[in-house]
Amino acid sequence: MNLPSSTATPTPVTSTSPSSDPAAISPEICGTCENRDAWVIHAARLRSVLQFFCTHCLLLNHPQSFCPSCFVFYDSSPPHPSRRVTCSKCGSYSHIECVGDAKSPPFHCPPCREDNDSFSFFSPIIGSDGSRFVDKSLSVAFLCAAKIAASSMTKAVCYHKGEAERRGKEAALAKKRAREALEEVIALDDAKEKEKEKEKEKEREKEKEKEKARSVIPKLKEASVELSGHRDQKPKLSTASNGAVKENVKEKESSASTTKNNGGAQKQSPTVQLGKVKQEGDASK
Report pLDDT digits (tens) over 80-92.
888 888 888 888 8
Strands (DSSP E) contained in the chain are: 2-3, 42-46, 49-53, 84-86, 93-95, 125-126, 132-133
CA–CA distance, 175 with 53 (Å, rounded to integer): 41
Confidence of residue 10 (pLDDT cuts 50, 70, 90): very low
Which is nearest to 123 in space by CA: 132, 115, 114? 132
Tell me which long-range contacts 42-48 makes (C-beta under 8 A, separation of at least 24).
Answer: 42/145, 42/146, 42/148, 42/149, 43/149, 43/153, 44/148, 44/149, 44/152, 44/153, 45/152, 45/153, 45/155, 45/156, 46/18, 46/152
**Residues contacting residue 4 through CB under 8 Å, at least 6 positions apart:** 39
Q: Is 249 in a helix, a strand, or coil?
A: helix
- What pLDDT shows up at residue 267? 47
Report pLDDT digits (tens) over 123-149.
777 777 877 778 888 899 999 999 999
The neighbouring-strand residues paired with 126 are 132
pTM: 0.54
